[in-house]
């Protein structure tokens, strides 16, 4: 089988926020995920899970920054320059976002979630339930990340 060189996806839905001015980094905020109507049935049973992974496409990341291979985590120059795959930076070869959110409510093709750090209009690529299998009890993380969490 030849190598797959290109992957074409169609969003399954979009993020809808109460206001375009919201601070999307505020994990206490809620927003909606509006799934395409014809896919609504694919959400059946999702309401029995408390948490979801949302995989989304950060469509607003463009230009020179989008091609960076190394970054200072969260732009903090005091922290070491590391590869983008070692960070959650939005600047990465494929601008895919992955966030665990709390599912508060489902109504038809609309989900109400808490903690999604995505702008209004962001295309959503997939949703997956969070399961005990995803738990890593004590992941080893670098020293710079511990510092970053300590100062926050």
Closest contact distance (angstroms) between CB of 91 and a copy of itself is 10
Single out the residue of 138, 139, 127 nearest to residue 51, CA to CA. 127
- The smaller minimum CB distance to a copy of itself, of residues 63 and 149, is found at 149
Q: Is 124 exposed, middle or buried (0-12, 13-18, 19+ CB in 10 A)?
A: buried
Task: Report the distance separating Cα 39 and Cα 30, nearest Å.
Answer: 22
Closest contact distance (angstroms) between CB of 104 and a copy of itself is 12
Element (H, E) at 25: none
Binding site for a copy of itself (CB under 8 A): 1, 3-12, 14, 35, 39, 41-46, 48-51, 53, 55, 57, 59, 69-70, 80, 82-88, 92-94, 96, 98, 100, 121, 123, 125-137, 139-143, 145, 149
Closest contact distance (angstroms) between CB of 22 and a copy of itself is 16
Q: Which tokens go with 8?
A: 């074409």
């Amino acid at each position: 089988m030849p190598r797959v060189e290109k992957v074409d996806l169609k969003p399954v839905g979009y993020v809808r926020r109460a206001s375009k001015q919201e601070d999307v980094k505020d994990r206490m905020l809620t927003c909606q995920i509006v799934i395409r109507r014809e896919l609504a049935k694919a959400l059946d049973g999702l309401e029995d899970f408390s948490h979801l992974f949302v995989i989304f496409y950060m469509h607003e990341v463009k230009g020179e920054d989008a091609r960076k291979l190394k970054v200072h985590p969260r732009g903090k120059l005091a922290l070491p320059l590391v590869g983008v795959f070692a960070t959650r930076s939005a600047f990465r070869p494929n601008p895919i976002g992955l966030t665990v959110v709390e599912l508060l409510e489902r109504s038809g093709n609309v989900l109400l979630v808490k903690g999604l750090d995505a702008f209004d209009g962001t295309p959503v690529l997939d949703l997956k339930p969070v399961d005990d299998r995803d738990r890593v009890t004590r992941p080893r993380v670098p020293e710079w990340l511990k510092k970053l969490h300590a100062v926050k």
